Structure 1
Amino acid sequence: MLSLIIAESSLELVPRELQSHISIKSHAKKLGKYPSEILLDNSWHFAAMKGLENEIKRGRPDIVHLCLLAATSIPLYHENEIEIYVHTIDNKVIILGDNVRLPKSYHRFAGIVEKLFKDKVIKTDDSVLMELKKMTFDELIEMIEPKSVIALSPDGVPSNYQSVGKELDDSCLIVGGFQKGAFSDEITQHIDRTYSIGEQSFEAHVVISRILYEYEKTIFM
């Protein structure tokens, strides 16, 4: 079983120190919600985020949406051969259930995640679709207990998708869920091997699609 962690993801509700900013209040009003109930999104909140601590790794929930669509739209997920976790920049973890069908529309996705942050769980009558827990990266790795932890980063050892895909069985794959920057020390201390895939840098959802396809080939073909 492969575990995928989208780590330090740019996914959080508007922090307290920004909730009184005019751009936040205006956007929240349009959505019919309180500022504390909406996702931080630099498409709307760019002015408010200026000077925010760790600004370059925050306010991009769309990255997580695209990554999750990539990871849940493939045979690997439908055959229950992968567990998916979203670790957020403020140390929360979203645990994805089996056979969850995420909305293709970003606006619907954002609404579901905002509800998840409020209620802590999204479920049907007979199954849990998504669950939110306060959890550090250390605690998440301890819970998963993988054979090895492999990360993909431009700073890693040069390799290719095919080679890394063959190493992933019973491992935990780490891909950053942020726009810019590097993994924090909290993440890197748990990584056994870090690889850089190819000479060209791709967005996280493209990397996830390509590496998971190569892993699929090792178990389905």
Structure 2
Amino acid sequence: MPQRLSGFSSDAGRLAASFIPAAAFTLCLFVVMDRLVSVGEVHLSERTVRPLVSITPLPEEPQTLIRREPVERISEVQPPPRLDPVRRPNSGEIGLAPVELLTPTPEIDPGPVGDFAGTIVVIGRETGVPVRAPIVEYPHRALTRGIEGDCEVSFSIDAAGRPFGVSASCTDEIFARSSARAVEQTLFAAPVRNGVPVGQGNLVYPIQYRLED
């Protein structure tokens, strides 16, 4: 029994002997760390303001001054003139300006031109008559040669008054073409039977070519 107490006391003594230096070492470690980690007051340096230096040179001042014209202010705006409304043309009315056609002057003076029988002559029977007298052109060759002549143009008209089957018999063949063309381009008034226009054949229209003295 005394041997057991002696062993227990020796173990407790060794434990106490080892605890004392360990506690002293730990205390010293805390003191050293506190000294190392302690932070004092931080003093910041004052902020210095540096002037900015222009990299590009400043433009030189112009020697001459540009004078600006004074601006005229408009006090009141004048309204545009009122336009008349566009009038819609009535049926049959054409809103175009008349065109004046000028006949070019011929290079050769043909001399005075005679009368082309300006009066309307009754064609055969009095049933078919032209709406207006045919427009006859005096052939240029006949004018330069001083030729006169007479023609009888035979033709027929349909119910609308249009001539067809036109042929000209002239004292000189130089007048045949112009006479036939004049009758072909003329509108005639067809005869009316029982209120209905009908065609008519065997009509003859005389044309005279005369030169003035």
Same fold (TM over 0.5): no
**Bigger strand fraction:** 1
Which of structures 1 and 2 has the larger relative contact order (alpha carbons within 8 angstroms, sep 6+)?
1
